[in-house]
Amino acid sequence: MKFKILYLFPLIFVLNSCKNDTEKRLVETEKEAKKKELIFSNIEKGWVFNANPINETSRSTALGWNEWRLFLAELDQKPKKTIGAFQKKATELSKKAMALNDNIPIEFAKPQLKARISALITKVRMLDLFIHLNTIPDQKIIVLVGEINVELASLQNQMDKIVQKNKIPLEEGESELLKMLDTSRAIPNKPPTDPNRPRIE
């Protein structure tokens, strides 16, 4: 009889601990679900891009530069329903941003515009990286969306500056001066020859 009672206590203890573990797991699952719901809600509220061209130059460029038009169109479409939709959108945005380096119109193929494109690509790829982490940093994503909007405005303003600069007529003699400054047209430097060196004629 004493042995039966001895076996009964550990059995009760084991059953009680299993019940507590199940309850803890349910509570933690519920907390995790609420946390994910909050992250999704924050990202959905903060996912606001200024996809509309801010000046006439950007608008007219979108007609001729296909990659720019596709990137703006992708920014304009907001994902819905799940965090997975936001992850897919971030991946697509990253691909479209990388494509901006391809087929840049000749008038915009300048170092200052390429630098702005590189900065924009970096921000978009960071967004893609952060949204695919196991623990999604929703606040960092919201900050990145704002930074991407700043880079977009900067890129469009740079386009406008280039167009405005190209409209300024050259002064007399300025084109010759620009040709002289072009290093690709310069006469290559030859090493000095030694006058004492025998020449073959």
CA distances from 41 to 29, 44, 76, 176, 183 (A): 18, 5, 19, 60, 55
143-155 pLDDT, tens digit each: 898 898 898 888 8
pLDDT for 29 equals 77
Q: What is the per-residue pLDDT for 69?
A: 86
- Given this model, what pLDDT does residue 193 score? 67
Q: Give the per-residue pLDDT at 42.
A: 84
Which pLDDT value is given to residue 34? 81
Low-confidence residues of the chain: pLDDT under 50: none
Q: CA 145 from chain center: how many Å?
A: 9
